[in-house]
Structure 1
């Protein structure tokens, strides 16, 4: 099966079974792209994401893959090429968030987070650099927490600082290929991961940090991903903050 004859773009979305990744996968499918959802472990969530997209008239498949495993990521791209003829868009949304003060942070947790957030981003971008077709786009998810410099976010923000570095440098390494590479840095977004462990007072305080006085939604971020994945050909090598004006 090949989409080269139809002109339909093909997107890989890592972390596409839930949260921001799922919203991005659904939006790209609604835009007419065939979507390959990469997920780490939850078969039911991945299946639900695919079913939702196909029920809405879109095209999607799910592939289980550890994004830090270079063989698994190579097979992920192989599957996209085999099923749909190529890869035009890569959205790297998979990530782990762990928080705590620098002085007390568990280094084993730091290593696990960095394996996914840093090594995983590098591995996915390495395959993207080799395989994304001309006219394509690579979009990596970062965080506004790095710029906001909020206490407790240092381990996570440090890993996302690496994501931004890879994104901005890869954009320049792909000179002449007509491929854009950008990072998207959301602020607090109303996802299951965000609400975990937070009381109502904390949620309200964080929601009030931006002048819009609300949390972001996965759809807010997916809207920007859609723009960068399609019409935004003159935005390249940038970090785009999507946070309602928080910072």
Structure 2
């Protein structure tokens, strides 16, 4: 199936995890893909694996200076975008009693502010009838201890999918959100969980999932691919929860 033949997609945080798996799917179905990431070596390694239909852009979603230059960087390779997958995000996993202002700001700067202004800056490149997919989280629907700030940032993305869909109706740009449950991605190694506590924490998360396992990046990528394709043309401003039963069972 070549659902993205002659289409151009940009994935923020596309060098690993869900973003990388989605880039693989898009390319397999005919897309030209641009991925962003903060570290040049990680971006370059990902592009080497993705092949000739991928371009890597070193850009930090948490820095407005980088976001303001992103459209120009895209134009060096393509004159338009058909798909934008806002995937870059961070979770620090800190109880409310220990959250610092810096930790709060980091998560909101990347997960909300960065997402919002990335969309703003890239909208002029997006064709009428294009698609925006936001990577939110099932923590919006199920309380995970130590994730109060992260969950709040992801709830903002779900709301953004609705409001932007209404605002962009005249351009027929659809905006939808995916809310994954626990997924085996590098995010869980970056949450600040001490090594001696990590196994117990991951076990606790697994027990909160009705199907008793973590999802895979490829499972979430398949949903992102669906939402980015014309097959989801009647899905507008909505959210798909992919949490192994979290939020529904």
Structure 2 Cα separation of the partners of residues 155 and 104 of structure 1: 11
Q: Deviations over 1:128-147 (max 9, x none)?
A: 43331122110111111121
- Across the aligned residues of Structure 1 and Structure 2, the Cα RMSD in angstroms comes to 1.9
After TM superposition, list the pairs within 5 Å mapping 1:1-247 onto structure 2: 8-40=6-38, 42-54=39-51, 59-195=53-189, 197=193, 198-230=197-229, 231-247=231-247
Check conservation: 1:20, 1:221, Cα contact below 8 A. yes
Structure 1 Cα separation of the partners of residues 72 and 9 of structure 2: 13
Structure 2 Cα separation of the partners of residues 10 and 114 of structure 1: 28
Q: TM-score, normalised by structure 2?
A: 0.88
Check conservation: 1:128, 1:138, Cα contact below 8 A. no
Check conservation: 1:67, 1:123, Cα contact below 8 A. no
Q: TM-score, normalised by structure 1?
A: 0.89
Number of residue-to-residue matches in the alignment = 238
Check conservation: 1:129, 1:174, Cα contact below 8 A. no
Question: Which runs of no fewer than 5 residues in structure 2 stay unpaired?
Answer: none
Check conservation: 2:141, 2:246, Cα contact below 8 A. no
Check conservation: 2:17, 2:186, Cα contact below 8 A. yes
Deviates more, 1:62-71 or 1:42-51: 62-71
Question: Which runs of no fewer than 5 residues in structure 1 stay unpaired?
Answer: 1-5
Q: Deviations over 1:28-83 (max 9, x none)?
A: 1112110111111x2222112111111xxx50110111224445334322333331
Structure 2 Cα separation of the partners of residues 115 and 131 of structure 1: 23
Structure 2 Cα separation of the partners of residues 108 and 80 of structure 1: 31
